[in-house]
Structure 1
Amino acid sequence: MISVLFGKKFYFMNSLKTISKRLANHQAIAGLLLFLLVLAFFSWLEYAPTLADPDSFYHAKMTALISENGLVRDFPYLQFTTLKDGYIDHHLLYHLYLIPFVKIFPLPVGLKIGHSLLAALVLATLYWLLTKLKVRGAWGYTVFLLLVEPFIFRLSLVKAQPLSLIILLLGTYLIIRKKFLGLTLLSFIYVWSYGGWFLILIITAIYVLVESWDRAWLKIRADRLAKIINFKNKKTDLINRLYAWVISFIKNALNSQNFKLVTSVLLGLVLGLVINPYFPKNLEFYWIHIIKIALINYQGVIGVGAEWYPYNINDFFINNLLPFILALVALAVFLNYHQKFDVVVKYFLALFLAFVIATAKARRNVEYLAPLAVIFSALVFSRGWSLDEIRGDFQAFGRLFKKVFLNDWRAKVLFTLFSILTVTVIFYKMPYQAKKSLDNGFNYNYLKSASEYLLANSQPGDIVFQSDWDEFPILFYHNSRNYYIVGLDPTFMYLKNPDLYNKWADITRGQRAEDIYGIIKNDFRAKYVIATLDHKELIANLDNNFYFAKVYSDNEAVIYKVL
């Protein structure tokens, strides 16, 4: 029995090998099966009457407005922010993509169906990229990402991140293959799709730096070898070699191919900005969005979204344990045989390290970190296996492992049971943890009753003073007839009027009780105040002020009329 179970004729293992070979030989069928599997997986994750991120309500409303009235050019809904006069839809293609789904299905459901398809397409694109890079076991590496909880959670948020990931994955392939026209077109599309379009320029610059660095070192090593052969190598050559490396690096960075590479991306980005329904207003918006919010960020001054804050160091490594383990093993192999690997492997290593830094700064970048860790690892293991020296070391390690841990049938049984238990726990824990977080999001009907009261009792254009900036998307989703104070990001209000932002923040936190009537009525021109029940201090201050009449309350919020 034991010999059959663990011997060479083990039926289950042979079946897996047969399936793996057939998938490798029929990549189109494998890709379709993967897409359907992942689509079913994300459909299960999304199957709940909730949206985990308030911004998803904004995307739902924008999709509906564009579907009904065309492009949204004016945005009076945020009266005290830079968006009042400087709004652009920086996720335009994402919203246009969702329109057919919200026309066919009810709005929240259609939104999730369209988004699940896009999320599945991310994994299908990753599989396609791995096959193009000739990675062995591309299917398995792709499925591995479904076990990375922060990745699948972020990908499940109904936001434009999946579209951004698809574009960047395609971009890395076009960069490696130096497809200049394709890069120009893709860069143009990126500007219309996602506010973080500058990322494609960053990954292009990283490739140029890595390739130039690699070529410069290859030239220096070749020159040094020639001098050694000719007995001309001297210790004083160190400075000369460094100088030669710098010159070679600069020449490679500025060669015609790299110049075309960077220029093609820049051309696409410029065209995307200029040939744009929001030009030239989009230039000021992107200055705020990219420089002020993404790079500078005012998290030390004002309370921004949680995704802009860095990870706690323990959470950073624990939440991303699986991709980090995979990447660290791959890194150990790479460092030991770095001269054996080509510039493509080094490029993805550089991208992985760059996004480790970016994710440490802002946790929102984790959706890029995990797939880059997998791509780098897959390239190292796959290309390492094709090299005799590295494959020999892999096989020697395998023999040593068997000798130490699988030396008799008892050890094999224990190892098999441990492996099955570990894999089962991981397969269960990670997806269900993401599912639980998604299910605990905001119900579709959150603040709907309060919004319906405002719709029935207020006038179009009446300003509603809301208790938090991230309540705006939900209020906007249910009621776009009224206007609000701040939303999408508090930086937009802070940059418009820091003094007014501080007044709003102090009042909503309950830190200011004096003269709140004068500020809300005169400075903010508000007709109503809506406070969710977690703002107890604000509610107490409003209850104690007879200039505010409580006109509505439920188990979610309280509404006051400003007298």
Structure 2
Amino acid sequence: MFFKSIFHQKPFSYFEKPLIGYLVIFLIAFGVFFYIQYTPDFPDPDSFYHMKMGLLIQEGNLARNFPWLSDYTILGGAYTDQHFLYHVFLIPFLAILSPAIGIKVATIFLGAFLIAGFYWFLKQEKIRLAWLYSLLLLFIEPFTFRISLAKAPSVSIIFLFMVLWCVFNYRPKLLFVISAVFVWAYGGFPLTLVVAATYGVISIAFHFQEKRNGVLNKLFRHRPALAPLIAKGKELKLFLAALGGILTGLVINPYFPQNLPFYWSQLVEIGIVNYQKIIGVGGEWYPYQFNQLVPNAVFLFLILITALVVFFITIRKQSRRSFVLLILTLFFLVLTLKSRRYVEYFVPFGMMFGAFAIHPLIQKIDFRSLFKKVTLYYFSKKVVFTILAVYFLVAVPTIVLRDLKQEHNSFGSGLRYDKFQAASTWLKNNTSAGSLVLHSDWDEFPILFYHNTHNHYIVGLDPTFMYKYSQDLYWKWVHITTGEESNDLYDIIKNDFQSATVFLEKDHTAMDNNFKNDSHFQLVYEDQEAKIYQIKE
């Protein structure tokens, strides 16, 4: 009776009911991201910057000239809040809850919306097993780790899903609007053009091949002209809609025209050129080794291997959408191997390609009938099936639980919400407004900035901004913070850095020893985390 009751309903049939399916996916994703976030710490200091920007915008301060980094970086004349709409989105969470809790809850919601959005996209395209591909995303550690950071990667990917849907379904007007809004939401908006251009090339190639294989063309050996296909086709209109939307978002913008040099620096000099071999940039900009990526994203690569085999076996049945997603997957894989931060794009687009590529093979399978046959076959081969079942029931949950626990522990060993709070309070109360603080590392800025907007700071957000401002001053600052500079500390601090107050985290022992042994400086503050030195009067 038990098996009979099972056979009369489809496995996971509740996913066939649209609203229930979306709700189940959302709640599972919410639970996973909640578990990862359930810690008071932050693994990435940028979270403090995003909290503060949300609070500043809530007060009506758009920080157009960003005075806190205006002295020794290019941001004094070219700052743009490239996450503006994300920061606006944070405001109700920061206002209703405490900032530290609010940004975590907002991150959980965005992560859950992202997974539900992935599921929605596959359902719109009538891809079978959409629920399986969506849930697998939750158990790919590099992806869920990046999405769980209190930053804006989820926002960018959600926008890209909408862009891809507009391109696949020819919605140029909606694409124009989404592209314009994307500019205000996240600095990854140029990827809109990558998606539109990739679709355009693949779609034109399909059209060209279709015309070339037409009956008249075969009879008269006529080769179709490529230029008219491009000029009159929908593909060009989609690309122009995306480009027009981006240009509109750039020009109709509270930061125009200073956003133009900012995006050049952020997108080209940092995102593409990248000075990782010259200066010490953020860890996310360094390469992701392939031999580390594969075991860390094992579920994805199992899907990709299967998908590639199916893709080439059924290549004549594959749609242009599968080809587009294959190109985008390879594009994001190359970017990931160059800079590990792009893994947040590679994983969902790789999974989406897998879903589209495998679909022609399984679209006509009757899963209920298959389930019956597998069950009956099980009873005839109990030993083999039992061994396989036990293996998968042990191996898969072990990998999943291991990765989730590892992520939770990574978050739990991060930065405390009150880090540098006491030292920042001292700076606020004992230095003049707008006076400069020379701090011991560029990634300390977001934390200091969150606790104290009374002072200005040497460098922050990315060291490239200071390096492009002045290479000479950048290297002077680096040599001071690494302890390599000990002879001319007084002259450099006084003449080059406006007699700045020196803040250092206690793990910078070489730097600390140099200031401790220099008679021109006195220790004015110390706690368990940091020390503060000033020039003796």
Structure 2-normalised TM-score? 0.94
Partner of 1:363: 340
SS in 2 for 1:511: coil
Partner of 2:273: 296
Task: Measure, in 2, the Cα distance between the counterparts of 1:554 and 1:255.
Answer: 69
Partner of 1:475: 448
Partner of 1:236: none
Q: Report the Cα offset of residue 224 of structure 1.
A: 11
SS in 2 for 1:560: strand
Partner of 1:139: 131
Spell out the pairing of 1:77-226 with structure 2 (5 A cutoff): 77-78=68-69, 79-222=71-214, 226=218
Is the contact made by 2:493 and 2:499 (CA closer than 8 Å) also made in structure 1?
yes
Q: Report the Cα offset of residue 33 of structure 1.
A: 2.2
Q: Does 2:38 correspond to 1:47?
A: yes
Deviations along 1:92-141, one digit per CA (max 9) or x if unpaired, are 00001111111111111111112211111111111110100101121121
Is the contact made by 2:82 and 2:186 (CA closer than 8 Å) also made in structure 1?
yes
SS in 2 for 1:88: coil
Partner of 2:294: 317
Q: Report the Cα offset of residue 196 of structure 1.
A: 1.5
Choose 552-561 or 274-283, whichever is displaced more.
552-561
Q: Report the Cα offset of residue 158 of structure 1.
A: 0.8
Is the contact made by 1:20 and 1:137 (CA closer than 8 Å) also made in structure 2?
no
SS in 2 for 1:481: coil
Partner of 1:279: 256
Spell out the pairing of 1:229-308 with structure 2 (5 A cutoff): 244=223, 247-248=225-226, 250-308=227-285
Is the contact made by 1:171 and 1:200 (CA closer than 8 Å) also made in structure 2?
yes
Task: Measure, in 1, the Cα distance between the counterparts of 2:499 and 2:151.
Answer: 30
Structure 2 residue identity aligned to 1:72: A
Match for residue 518 of structure 2 among 526, 532, 545:
545
Q: Does 2:305 correspond to 1:328?
A: yes
Q: Report the Cα offset of residue 10 of structure 1.
A: 7.9
Task: Measure, in 2, the Cα distance between the counterparts of 1:407 and 1:72.
Answer: 71
SS in 2 for 1:9: helix
Partner of 1:433: 406
Deviations along 1:319-367, one digit per CA (max 9) or x if unpaired, are 2222112111111110111111111111111111111111111111111
Structure 1 residue identity aligned to 2:81: D
Match for residue 3 of structure 2 among 9, 13, 16:
9
Deviations along 1:175-197, one digit per CA (max 9) or x if unpaired, are 00110110000001100011121
Q: Report the Cα offset of residue 71 of structure 1.
A: 1.9
Q: Report the Cα offset of residue 463 of structure 1.
A: 0.6
Q: Does 2:27 correspond to 1:33?
A: no
SS in 2 for 1:558: strand
CA RMSD of aligned residues (A): 2.5
Is the contact made by 2:212 and 2:218 (CA closer than 8 Å) also made in structure 1?
no
Choose 217-226 or 162-171, whichever is displaced more.
217-226
Match for residue 446 of structure 1 among 407, 419, 422:
419
Is the contact made by 2:326 and 2:353 (CA closer than 8 Å) also made in structure 1?
yes
Deviations along 1:492-529, one digit per CA (max 9) or x if unpaired, are 01111111101111111111111011111210114311
CA gap 1:355/1:137 in 2 versus in 1, 3 angstroms: same
Is the contact made by 1:153 and 1:438 (CA closer than 8 Å) also made in structure 2?
no
SS in 2 for 1:36: helix
Task: Measure, in 2, the Cα distance between the counterparts of 1:252 and 1:531.
Answer: 62
Is the contact made by 1:461 and 1:482 (CA closer than 8 Å) also made in structure 2?
yes
Aligned residue pair count? 532
SS in 1 for 2:453: coil
SS in 1 for 2:392: helix
Task: Measure, in 1, the Cα distance between the counterparts of 2:283 and 2:167.
Answer: 33
Q: Which runs of 5+ in 1 are unaligned?
A: 233-239
Spell out the pairing of 1:383-462 with structure 2 (5 A cutoff): 383-386=360-363, 408-462=381-435
Partner of 1:21: 13
Structure 2 residue identity aligned to 1:419: F
Match for residue 58 of structure 1 among 35, 44, 49:
49
Percent identity, aligned pairs only, is 37
Task: Measure, in 2, the Cα distance between the counterparts of 1:407 and 1:334.
Answer: 33
Task: Measure, in 2, the Cα distance between the counterparts of 1:479 and 1:344.
Answer: 50
CA gap 1:353/1:438 in 2 versus in 1, 3 angstroms: same
Deviations along 1:360-387, one digit per CA (max 9) or x if unpaired, are 1111111111111111111222232226
CA gap 1:45/1:88 in 2 versus in 1, 3 angstroms: same
Is the contact made by 1:465 and 1:484 (CA closer than 8 Å) also made in structure 2?
yes
SS in 2 for 1:89: coil
Structure 1 residue identity aligned to 2:78: G
Task: Measure, in 1, the Cα distance between the counterparts of 2:287 and 2:422.
Answer: 36
SS in 1 for 2:419: coil
Deviations along 1:402-455, one digit per CA (max 9) or x if unpaired, are 99x997211121111111001211221121121111222111011111112212
Is the contact made by 1:150 and 1:434 (CA closer than 8 Å) also made in structure 2?
no
Partner of 2:530: 557
Partner of 2:353: 376
Q: Report the Cα offset of residue 456 of structure 1.
A: 2.0
Partner of 2:437: 464
CA gap 1:36/1:528 in 2 versus in 1, 3 angstroms: same
Task: Measure, in 1, the Cα distance between the counterparts of 2:417 and 2:153.
Answer: 21
Deviations along 1:248-282, one digit per CA (max 9) or x if unpaired, are 4x543433311210111111101101111111111
Structure 1-normalised TM-score? 0.89
Structure 2 residue identity aligned to 1:467: S
Q: Which runs of 5+ in 2 are unaligned?
A: none
Partner of 2:495: 522
SS in 2 for 1:559: strand
Partner of 1:237: none
